[in-house]
Amino acid sequence: MLIMMSYRPTTLQKVLNLFKGNEKLWVTQLSQRSWLGRPVMHRYVKALVEHKKLKKSWSWPHVVYQLTDPALSSQTENTPSVDFDYSTKSLLDDIFLKFSPTGEKMLGAVWLVQWCKKRDLDVKQKADAYIQIYTHIESLRDDCGLLDATTAFENNVDGYHMTATYYADQYKWMDFGRGKLAELTFYGKQSQSRRLIEESVGLFVDKITCLVREHSIDAIAFVPPSISRQQQLLYIINAHIDPSIPRVRIEKFYTGDTKIPQKSLKKREDRIENAQKTIYVRDETAKNYKTVLLIDDFVGSGATLNQTAKKLKDEGVEKVLWFAIVGNMDLRYEVINEM
């Protein structure tokens, strides 16, 4: 059943169950279908709108209501009952996100319950564990809301050429797999969904702006993609960053006829060779910039970024800071193995 405050969850779920897919209904219709009075139904739909389970719009001559997510109509009385307190539910509604095998966006506490049920897991225990992971990650964030992974790379990458390395979020959340941002970005990139990519970028672009300001960034560079895509994630990020900040042009060229993406290479030395021989700084203005921010999406071994930073320094750049959307603080688990 749907978990809500102030009203009986079973009743609120019954209201959601009155909707079939994407149909739009007005309060009188809902009242007739449920045998509940219109004043009572008005209170229920108001609560559901406030909790973003219903959305309302004007369709002459009535205000009509519609499910924000048609999948909610499939939730039944068989869903396990969990009495989350208000703060726990509100937090889970904001931070829990998965995609189902059929592409449904599973956002919030009610979907955590479903996720646990499918795996025969204790909901309360897993909810507590998920929040503990979130709390730990939040405690590591700096003033810009970023995770500083500099030490991890300094200790694990030979010839580290970056001044500092930052993530917008941790990629793997222990037994839960990808965290919210990683899940959203992963499926946005894989499915080539512009909508999902834009949603993902909206979660971290302000952090890049803060990073640029706090570290007096002179110019920005993007790691060139290995594979041609209709919706290039890094190009979309670029469109959301202040255009007045200079860009340093970096390109990727292959000497052979076959493009070999980094993710297909399992050995670190092969990735380094790939980066050394295919990535080039194609910008004569690079030498004019003291501090450059290098941006990538998912971090694997860091080989590509490190070699790209070296090439920027070879052009005369003094400091190279690195931002990635998601990566792991523990470099023994590589994101590149999944990407």
Domains parsed from the chain with CATH numbers: 1-79 (1.10.10.10), 85-139 (no CATH), 142-337 (3.40.50)
Give me the average pLDDT of each 10-residue run along the chain (339 residues). Answer: 45 82 84 82 89 81 82 51 83 92 84 89 94 96 95 81 92 93 93 91 95 96 80 91 94 66 61 67 88 89 80 92 89 53
Element spanning 66, H or E: strand 62-67
Burial of 17 (0-12, 13-18, 19+ CB in 10 A): middle
CA-based end-to-end distance of the chain: 35
- The two tokens of residue 183 are 């899940």
Residue among 276, 273, 267 at smallest CA distance from 301: 267
pLDDT score at 12: 80
pLDDT score at 324: 93
Residue among 195, 176, 204 at smallest CA distance from 298: 204
Distances (CA, A) of 14 to 39, 74, 85, 235: 16, 11, 21, 44
pLDDT score at 29: 85
Name the residue with tokens 């996720």. 115
pTM of the model: 0.71
Residues, the chain = 339
- The two tokens of residue 179 are 């965290």
Residue among 17, 60, 63, 55 at smallest CA distance from 36: 17
DSSP string, 137-188: HHHTB-TTS-EE-HHHHHHHSTT---SEEEEEEESB-GGG-B-HHHHHHHHH
pLDDT score at 255: 66
